[in-house]
Amino acid sequence: MLRPATQARGCSFAQIYREANDSQRLEFIEEWDNPEELRQQLGSERFVHLLELLETAAERPVVEFRIITEKYGLEYFNKPEEKTIGNEFIH
């Protein structure tokens, strides 16, 4: 699953994690350059295969698509007067 994801145009990161406290729980994360490139992949063979795997799970899996529009590094903490959430400034 990881290799095809990272080879897909627009996928900048893919990783599978196992929960430390629950060995039955896996987390599969992909990061995409933009939502449109992800949407183009939803009908691909690898997504169909992923859906098939989800259908065989003993418990109903949680599937989330998160669209994150901004990310900051540590420099964000150095300029508190410039922090915003949405269109609102935080002081």
pLDDT at residue 76, as a whole number: 78
| Residue span of the structural domain in which 13 resides | 2-89
Number of domains making up the chain: 1
Question: Residue 81 — φ and ψ, nearest 5°?
Answer: -70, -15
What pTM value is reported for the model? Answer: 0.68
Q: How would you classify residue 87: left for phi > 0, otherwise alpha for psi between -120 and 50, otherwise beta?
A: alpha
Tens-digit pLDDT profile for residues 41-89: 998 998 999 899 999 988 888 888 888 888 888 887 776 665 556 665 5
Distance, in Å, from the CA atom of 43 to the CA atom of 57, rounded to the nearest integer, reads: 21
What gap in Å lies between CA 61 and CA 69, rounded to an integer?
25
Q: Which residues pair with 32 in a beta bridge?
A: 11
Q: What is the CATH number of the domain that holds 34?
A: 3.30.70
How long a stretch of residues is the chain?
A: 91
Average pLDDT over residues 4-28: 88
